[in-house]
Amino acid sequence: MVTTTFRIGGDLRVGRLGFGAMHLPTEPAPDRANALAVVRRAVELGVTLIDTAYMYGWGANEELLAEALHPYPEGLLVTTKVGVARPKGEWALDGRPEALRAQVDQALTRLRTERVELLQLHRVDPQVPLADQIGALRDLRAAGKIGRIGLSEVSVDELAEARGITDIASVQNRYNLLDREYEPVLAACEQAGIAFLPWRPVAWGAAGARAEIAAVAAETDATPTQVALAWLLGHSPVILPIPGTASIEHLEENLAATGLRLTPDQRDRLDWLPAGD
C-alpha cells in the first residue's frame, strides 16, 4: 500500500506529493496574478509541502509565496534553499558561513516568518569545507531560525559526512522514472528515514514518448505524467515528489496522481526503464 504522508525529520508531517514553485513567474500582472492563483489552488487541493529557493528569481519566488499564502495555513511547510549567489550577475556557489547566515536572514524576511522549518543547502560549495557549511546551518538551527537541515545534489559520501556533523532531514536530488543516477543516494535516505525530494520528478517531454509509459497510461486512463509520479510514490516511501507548473490545469493533473494505483505487473514493466523501452 502506498502511503500518502511522511514525517520529515521524524516529526514534521506533510503530504507526499508537494509542489515545486520554481516555474512560477514573478513578473507583473497578468502572469503574477496567475502564479498567485496556482499556488493558492495547490494549497486548496491539499498540498502541504511547497519548495522554493533564493536562486528562483533571487528572492522573488519567496516573496511571491509570501504574498500568496501569508499568513500560512496550519500544517503548510514552505521549504527554501540557500548557498547559491549572484555576485557578478551570474550564479555561483557560496557556502561561506557568513553568506549562508545572511541568506537565511533574508529568506526569513521575504517569507515573513521567524523560522524556516526545513532549510536546504542548495549545492555543496567545493571551495568551503563541508563541515563549515553544515556547521553554519547547525548553528542557525540552534538559534531557532531553522527547524531542520536538508541537502541538495549530494553524493552518498557527502550525505554520510554531513550526517556525521548533524541530523539531516532531507535530500533533494535530480531523479525520475527515466533518470535514476542517484539511486544509491535514495537507498541511503531510505535506510536512514531521510526524506528524498526529487527535483525534475518528471522527464519533461520524454515520459510520453516511451512506449511502456504510454502503454501503462492507456491502461490506467491516466497521463504519462501521472504514471511517472505514481511510480515515484510507489518506488520508495521516503520519496516526496515536488512537480512544478505555472498552470492550474497541469497542477490538478499532477495532484490527481495520488489516486493512481499501478498494478504489480505495470510497476514491474516500468521498473525496467530506463534500461530499455
**In the chain, where the domains are located:** 5-203+237-245
What is the model's pLDDT at position 207?
62
56 belongs to the catalytic site? yes
What is the model's pLDDT at position 205?
65
> Mean pLDDT score of the chain, rounded to an integer?
95
Give the residue-averaged pLDDT of 131-157. Answer: 98
Q: Which amino acid is at 235?
A: H
Q: Which residue has the higher pLDDT, 275 or 40?
A: 40
Percent of the chain scored above 90 by pLDDT?
91
Q: Which long-range contacts (CB under 8 A, 24 or more apart) does 87-92 make?
A: 91/55
Three cell numbers, residue 56: 528562483
What is the model's pLDDT at position 89?
79
Beta-strand relationship, 12-15 and 5-8: antiparallel
What is the model's pLDDT at position 128?
98
Give the residue-averaged pLDDT of 76-103. Answer: 95
Give the residue-averaged pLDDT of 109-114. Answer: 98
Percent of the chain scored above 70 by pLDDT?
97
Give the residue-averaged pLDDT of 151-161. Answer: 98
54, 56, 175, 182: the catalytic one is 56
Give the residue-averaged pLDDT of 135-163. Answer: 98
Find residue 51's DSSP bridge partners.
20, 79
Q: Which residue has the higher pLDDT, 273 or 82?
A: 82
Find residue 78's DSSP bridge partners.
50
Its CATH class, for the domain covering 5-203+237-245, is alpha beta
Nearest to 199 by CA among 1, 29, 53, 34: 53
Give the residue-averaged pLDDT of 20-28. Answer: 93
Cα 156 to Cα 172: distance, rounded to the nearest angstrom: 12
What is the model's pLDDT at position 274?
72
88 falls in which pLDDT band (50, 70, 90)? Answer: confident
Give the residue-averaged pLDDT of 63-76. Answer: 98
> Could you report the per-residue pLDDT of 205-243, keeping only the tens digit for each?
666 678 999 999 999 999 999 999 999 999 999 999 999
> Could you report the per-residue pLDDT of 158-177, keeping only the tens digit for each?
999 999 999 999 999 999 99
Q: Which residues of 80-92 are buried (b: 16+ CB within 10 A; e: fewer)?
A: bbbbbbeeeeeee
Three cell numbers, residue 208: 510520453
What is the model's pLDDT at position 154?
98
Q: Which helix or strand (DSSP H or E) is residue 191 part of?
A: helix 183-192
Q: Which helix or strand (DSSP H or E) is residue 7 part of?
A: strand 5-8
Cα 40 to Cα 180: distance, rounded to the nearest angstrom: 32
What is the model's pLDDT at position 259?
95
